[in-house]
Structure 1
Amino acid sequence: MAFGKKSGGAGLRDLVKRNKDFGGKLVWKMYTKANSKWCQIMQAKYLDSSNPIIILSISNPPDGSAMWNFMLSSRDVVTQFITWQIHNGESTNFRFDSWNGFPTLAQVPQLQLVIPIFIQKWGHKLINYVSGVALYSKKVIWKDIDIDIKDSLRRLIGTLLSQRTVILLDKEDKIIWSPSANGNYTVQNGYVALQHMMNQQQSQRDFFFSWNSAVMPKGGCFSWLALKNRILTSNKLAKLQIVQQFKYVMCDQVSEDVDHLFLQCPFAHQCWRFVTNKLELSMAFPNTIWDFFQAWPTLFK
């Protein structure tokens, strides 16, 4: 029910995710307003540090009060989307930090054996890998890779670094929350990010026809139930142990299910042929109701 309408849900708010968004807001506040009295108390009690970044980077934070544990359980909605906005390059870790919106270099499998050599030679901070700045564009010029590695790896590293445009400024690097246009975490954007994460884990289905404004609400709701296989057919009622399984009354051939009811029955097939002929459409008829909706031309779009 909490999925968006185009993903097969009813578009209702998921209160669990909404609650997690508010926890993420408290985590973001501890980073952005570290000088407030409340944040100073929490940092001194649980983190033993005045560094505001620690709330985002600590790997094994201690348990504490109900409020603190709630914040920890909500922390991933913030940490999964943070990235460094490069200014002077002195605070950003070249290997393990995401910077300018790109994934960390530590996530590139081909560089697992090469990056430690870089770290040993030049260190951890991003500024250590800069040899200069272009005269007019002010873009950084990366140091030459003067170590003995394969040419393919050398080209890969050059490509990865050329994609990450960096312009040095005379101020400290800053952590931003990438889904937001201004880089600040908000409850509304946090909910959208969580919904996006959930949709990526689920099979994407376009329920455009069910929720289209041109469709009568009763018909749209019924088609949504059909696509979700929730209509009380013979098979469904028998599965729920309400009635004995029986054959479809229109053809008296096989037991009634959603696909047979709408497509596989000879009577349903004749109905669809009549409709498509009237609309002057030529289309194949799949065996499942979902494949049928997917194959339907973009008539109402």
Structure 2
Amino acid sequence: MRCFLWSQGNSGKSNSKVAWEVVCLPKDEGGLGIRRLDSFNKALMAAHIWKLLNKKNSLWVTWIHIHKINDRNFWDIPCRGNMSWAWRKVLQLRHIIRKFIWHKIGDGQRTSIWYDHWCHLSPLAEVVSYRDIHRAGLLPSSKVADVMVSRSLVWPIDLSSKYSNLLSIAAPSISAGTMDTIEWKSSDGVIQPFSARVVWNSIRPHDNKVDWFYVVWFPGCIPRHAFNLWLVVKKKLKTQDRLASWNVNASLATHCTLCESQPDSHDHLFFECPFSNQVWCHMRDFVGLPRMQPSLELIVDLLSPFSKSRTTRCVVSKLVLAATAYFLWRERNDRLFKKGKNTVDHVIGSIKSSVRLKLLSCRFKKSKAGLDILKQWNISEALLS
């Protein structure tokens, strides 16, 4: 890309358009859906921990249990510098995924009382001290079955008197002859089948869903138009008001190059500027969108409620909005950097030509709406199916 899209770090001033953390968010959360390699690598490595806890019948797991774990609790193994690089990386990953790994109690013989997640207070090792564990006659290696009596949790008096919150733990359903199992529980409490994708989705940064997702990204969108509209909606294009805060060359014009009368900004360019307003109003009326104030936010709010629809009218409206934003931005840059100047009619012609070429690659249902669209855009009826 000609301009930097993102920045790797947060230190100091950055001239990037969008922060790397935002770029790596899913598209429906306002990002571009690019997966960070370090996060996805952790998700892949989590499969090793999952196999260790499940005690899969493999040579690697058996070797690790004999030479590394050696009857110690996996969550309590200290991470030392003299360990192999791979094993140290696995251990360093524990604090990230531990809260998502829960034990489903069967007979209670494999689940640690203190280190495993099996109740709402887990891990109990963060609640009860080692000294109190030993005073109560229990061991760090004690299992859930060790405090179960007649299907009820019975805590030693020394513990229940000092840690009254232990009494709030509901007794798990014990099933004799059934082994304890582990399961992946997302942050909202949903049990999910374990996979690298599920792990990645649990440990990655999250943000709120955006209403305009389907306005920008949809099957049939023109990628470069959609990408530009994404920047427009997030107000990340390098308009002169943003460049001024970056201490760039003061010789650059600060006024809109389209109307040459108002300061250059996102709100002005889309679509308060007289030039861009003429272009948008023509395209708006051409595709039959309701009349409204020349504001991109209002236009997006208008399209958002039915943006999931795959009707021809909806798709064409979104294509026209993205194409209009794209060619206005290109015209603005041509005037600023190449000293070229096109008329309103020329920009409108470019928008219509681009959208028409996209429509030529689509198939339309044989209906009155489909026939009207083909006639409006001067497309052969051979595309009807």
TM beyond 0.5: yes
User: How high is the TM-score relative to the length of structure 2?
Assistant: 0.52
CA drift at 1:248 = 2.0
The structure with the largest alpha-carbon Rg is: 2
Contact 2:97-2:203 within 8 A present in 1 as well: no
CA drift at 1:296 = 5.0
Aligned with 1:66 (options 69, 78, 85)? 85
Match of 1:171 in 2: 178
In the alignment of these two chains, the number of paired residues is: 268
CA drift at 1:257 = 1.9
Aligned with 2:106 (options 67, 78, 87)? 87
Unaligned regions of 5+ residues in structure 2, if any? 1-22, 309-385
Do residues 222 (structure 1) and 228 (structure 2) align? yes
Aligned with 2:70 (options 47, 50, 57)? 50
CA distance in 2, matches of 1:85, 1:18: 27
CA drift at 1:82 = 0.8
Contact 2:270-2:294 within 8 A present in 1 as well: no
Match of 2:377 in 1: none
Match of 2:214 in 1: 208
Aligned with 1:19 (options 19, 41, 44)? 41
Q: Deviations over 1:89-145 (max 9, x none)?
A: 244355653227x6638599xxx79xxx9998897754466564xxxxxxx56679x
Do residues 99 (structure 1) and 118 (structure 2) align? yes
Q: Deviations over 1:61-94 (max 9, x none)?
A: 2231222223234344542321111111244355
CA distance in 1, matches of 2:88, 2:259: 60
Aligned with 2:54 (options 32, 41, 65)? 32
Local SS of the residue matching 1:248: coil
Contact 1:229-1:258 within 8 A present in 2 as well: yes
Local SS of the residue matching 1:175: strand
Match of 1:3 in 2: 25
Asked which structure has the greater RCO (Cα within 8 Å, sep 6+), the reply is: 1
Identity of aligned residues (%): 20
Match of 2:375 in 1: none
- CA pair 259-213 structure 1, distance change in 2 beyond 3 A: same
Contact 2:103-2:116 within 8 A present in 1 as well: yes
Q: Deviations over 1:127-172 (max 9, x none)?
A: 466564xxxxxxx56679x989xxxx99x976x73xx863523233
Q: Deviations over 1:247-286 (max 9, x none)?
A: 224555542222332255577678579949943477x888
Structure 1 range deviating more: 64-73 or 79-88: 64-73
